[in-house]
């Protein structure tokens, strides 16, 4: 009996692990949110903020730059394949020796061109519509028998990897030296 119970618990844990999303969900808001604090040793807030300002002007739509608070915010949009874009709000707060970033308010959006990714068709009511990512994640068409479809797992993973690459790009562009500029 103990072995059967252990087998059932282990099986349930493995099944749950297979369904776990790589996307971080903020416990307070229930929204997909990426956050981080990045140390920039021996750098003043003014120096790091100048790099953040250049980054915002060249990458965000529209950039909102607050010199006094040393913050930059704006919308960042990245392709995730299969005719989909992921759009999100990026905020950066700079301090002496570090900066914080927050990516939130994610939307899935049809890009001009090919059809949407498999498993996400029903999430986009119109070709140009933006849909909050949380709605896409809860789309019943993306699940079969309570489990995410392989196409949906691939989409979710692609979104996560795309955001990780965007964070790496932000960090590269805010770090000291010629590669940060």
Q: Is 22-180 in CATH node 3.30.530.80?
A: yes
The pLDDT score that the predictor gives to residue 132 is 93
The pLDDT score that the predictor gives to residue 24 is 95
Report residue 181 as tokens: 């500029």
Spell out the domain ranges in the chain: 22-180
Is residue 4 exposed (0-12), middle (13-18) or buried (19+ Cβ within 10 Å)?
exposed
- What average pLDDT does this structure show over 96-125? 74
- Calculate the alpha carbon distances from 64 to 28, 46, 122, 148, 153 in Å: 25, 17, 34, 38, 34
The pLDDT score that the predictor gives to residue 19 is 55
* Per-residue pLDDT tens over the stretch 14-58: 333 345 778 999 999 999 999 999 999 999 999 999 999 999 999
């Amino acid at each position: 009996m103990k072995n059967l119970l252990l087998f059932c618990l282990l099986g349930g844990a493995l099944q749950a692990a297979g369904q776990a999303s790589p996307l971080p969900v903020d416990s307070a808001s229930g929204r997909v949110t990426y956050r981080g604090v990045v140390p920039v040793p021996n750098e003043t807030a003014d120096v790091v903020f100048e790099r953040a300002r250049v980054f915002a002007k060249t990458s965000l739509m529209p950039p909102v730059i607050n010199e006094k608070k040393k913050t930059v915010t704006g919308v960042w949009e990245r392709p995730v394949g299969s005719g989909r874009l992921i759009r999100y709000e990026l905020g950066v707060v700079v301090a002496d020796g570090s900066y914080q970033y927050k990516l939130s308010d994610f939307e899935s959006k049809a890009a001009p061109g090919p059809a949407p990714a498999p498993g996400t068709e029903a999430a986009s009511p119109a070709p140009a519509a933006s849909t909050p990512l949380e709605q896409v994640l809860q789309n019943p068409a993306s699940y079969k028998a309570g489990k995410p479809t392989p196409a949906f797992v691939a989409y979710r993973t692609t979104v996560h990897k795309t955001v990780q690459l965007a964070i790496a790009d932000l960090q590269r562009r805010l770090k000291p030296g010629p590669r940060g500029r």
